[in-house]
């Protein structure tokens, strides 16, 4: 439907008989290939291009955020953290995170 959510995070996923994505406060209609420049969403789930303040593909940004959610579901914590936003953004830019070696291989395939 050419709608991007722009705030995919654990808190916006409702669990019931089916999973439901909630809170469309930042959602907008975007054409494929359209780039956005505004920083919206939750910093811990933000793609590197957002923290770099570069134009970004909102569809890819939503996929990145969904990957952060998947990581958190498997590990019990977010892949990047920091005591300040500066530190958090530095870690997001680095792209370095730890994978628990005890995770099931089927889960790792999804990452």
Indicate which residues carry an active-site annotation: 7
Q: Which residue in this structure is represented by tokens 């792209």? A: 95
Q: What is the DSSP string of 71-93?
A: HHHHHSS-S---SSHHHHHHHHH
Of residues 79, 80, 69, 70, the one with CA closest to residue 106: 70
Cα separation, 90 vs 95, whole angstroms: 9
Token pair in block for residue 48: 């590197």
């Amino acid at each position: 439907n050419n709608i991007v959510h722009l705030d995919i995070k654990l808190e916006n996923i409702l669990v019931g008989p089916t999973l439901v994505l909630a809170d469309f406060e930042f959602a907008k209609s975007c054409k494929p290939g359209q780039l956005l420049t505004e920083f919206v969403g939750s910093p811990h789930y933000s793609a590197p291009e957002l923290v770099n303040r570069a134009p970004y593909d909102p569809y890819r940004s939503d996929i990145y955020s969904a990957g952060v959610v998947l990581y958190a579901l498997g590990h019990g914590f977010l892949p990047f953290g920091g005591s300040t936003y500066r530190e958090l953004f530095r870690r997001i830019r680095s792209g370095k995170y730890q994978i628990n070696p005890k995770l099931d291989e089927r889960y790792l395939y999804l990452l």
